[in-house]
Amino acid sequence: MGTLQEQKIILLDEQQLFLAQLESKGRSLNTLKNYKTDLDCFNNFLTQHQTSLKIDSFTGKELSGYHDYLQVKYRSDNSRRRRVQTLRLFFDFLVKRSLFNHNPVRDFPPSPKFLDIPRPTPFSEIKTLWSYQVQNSDSKEELASLLMMRNQLITLLIFGAGLKVSDLFQLKSKHIIVEGRECRVMIAHAKGGPYTVPLPPVFKKIFSRYSKLLEQLKSRAIIEFDQLLFNANPHKILSAGITPRGVELVFADLRKKLLLTVNPKSLRQACIFKWITQQRKDAQIKEWLGVAPSYSLKPYKESAATHHYTDSFLEEI
């Protein structure tokens, strides 16, 4: 396969293709950055320790040196686990491209997984965020108003119903179920049957206004889609749905404008604490989160005494 420099260029080319594929699937900027950091760690190991290794002849035995390298370099089991997982996904990608017959990284012994300490968005920040969105949802510019209402729905779907950013992309208007004053969102994951999660009562009012204005602007733009959310610039609707990366950008803009720390993950964690404050049963919380029954809420329970959340303020503003 030529010199090490040639091999490295080929390896980097494949990594670029791998990252581009992930980006096309809507992975967030933060996720792509983490994957690149993990792959750079592997590249550094090759440069330092594998001076004659050809990338098309990697085996579990040869790669075991990287596994040992991670044990020394990182004290955190989660850090080691993440870098191995990224490399495993990369080699799965190479297998699909017929560059390998099998994935040797799958022979690595797994590192134990430790749950991260929850770091929810502070309750005061959620109230500040919501107040800003309410005050700016009635702009004279119709698209600006629609965008702010879209962002309100995103906030309510994450803080109100605990949705992940990956849930939002395929969400359709028909998945919002309105019964009297109550609203629920239906989630359908590939690995399990559909289930519904209750939304705060204010969702109905915003959803009604949003739907009417969205249909008007879609008609004017001669564009049609059935997704609940959309991607747009300040001048026009660009496409149906909003990717995880798009949601991350929405929150990045809010953090900059309002000097907040809020992000989708921290807002979802705040939702979990809200459900605990409401004394929801563990099984119910896990079902709404779409996680396995084995998922542990212990880190949340242990710090629940110092994290009290409510959604009653959504009706007060």
Mean pLDDT to the nearest integer, 28-48:
86
Domain of residue 142 covers: 123-316
Do residues 94 and 176 both lie within one domain? no
Our measurement of the distance from residue 219's CA atom to the centroid of its chain's CA atoms, rounded to an integer in Å, reads: 31
Predicted confidence (pLDDT) at residue 111 exceeds the cutoff of 70: no
> Could you give the number of structural domains in the chain?
2
Q: Is residue 116 part of a domain?
A: no
Flag whether 148 is in a domain.
Answer: yes
Q: Are residues 97 and 154 in the same domain?
A: no
Q: In this structure, is residue 278 part of a structural domain? A: yes
* Position with higher pLDDT, 83 vs 59: 83
Indicate if 87 and 154 belong to the same structural domain. no
pLDDT for the residue 52: 47
Which stretch of 45-54, 133-142, 165-174, 242-251 has the lowest confidence by average pLDDT? 45-54
Examine the pLDDT at 200 and tell me if it is beyond 90.
Answer: yes
**98 and 29 share one domain:** yes
Cβ proximity of 182 and 201 under 8 Å: yes
Q: Are residues 101 and 128 in the same domain?
A: no
> Quick check: 96 pLDDT over 50?
yes
> Has residue 159 got a pLDDT over 60?
yes
Bridge partners, residue 195, by sequence: 187
**Per-residue pLDDT averaged across 89-117, rounded?**
77
For range 79-84, the mean pLDDT: 84
Q: What is the pTM of this model?
A: 0.70
Residue 115, in any domain of the structure = no
Reported confidence tier of residue 1, pLDDT bands at 50, 70, 90: very low
Give domain status of residue 43, yes or no: yes
Report the chain's mean pLDDT, rounded to a whole number: 87
How much is the pLDDT for 2? 47
Which is more confidently placed, 189 or 18? 18
In a domain, 136, yes or no: yes
User: Residues 226-241: pLDDT tens digits?
Assistant: 999 999 998 999 999 9
Under a CB-based contact definition with an 8 Å cutoff, are residues 42 and 87 in contact? yes
The mean pLDDT value for 189-207 works out to 87
Rg (CA), the chain: 23
Domain presence at residue 113: no
Residue 112 falls within a domain, yes or no?
no
Contacts of 101 (CB under 8 A, 6+ apart): 95
Q: What pLDDT, on a 0 to 100 scale, did the predictor assign at position 7?
A: 54
Q: Is 112 exposed, middle or buried (0-12, 13-18, 19+ CB in 10 A)?
A: exposed
Q: How many CB atoms lie within 10 A of CB 150?
A: 23
pLDDT at residue 11 tops 90: no
| CA angle 69–35–246, rounded 5-degree value | 165
168 and 245 in a single domain? The answer is yes
Domain edge (last residue) among 60, 82, 107: 107
Tell me which of 125 and 110 has the higher pLDDT.
Answer: 125
- What is the domain-level CATH number for residue 63? 1.10.150.130
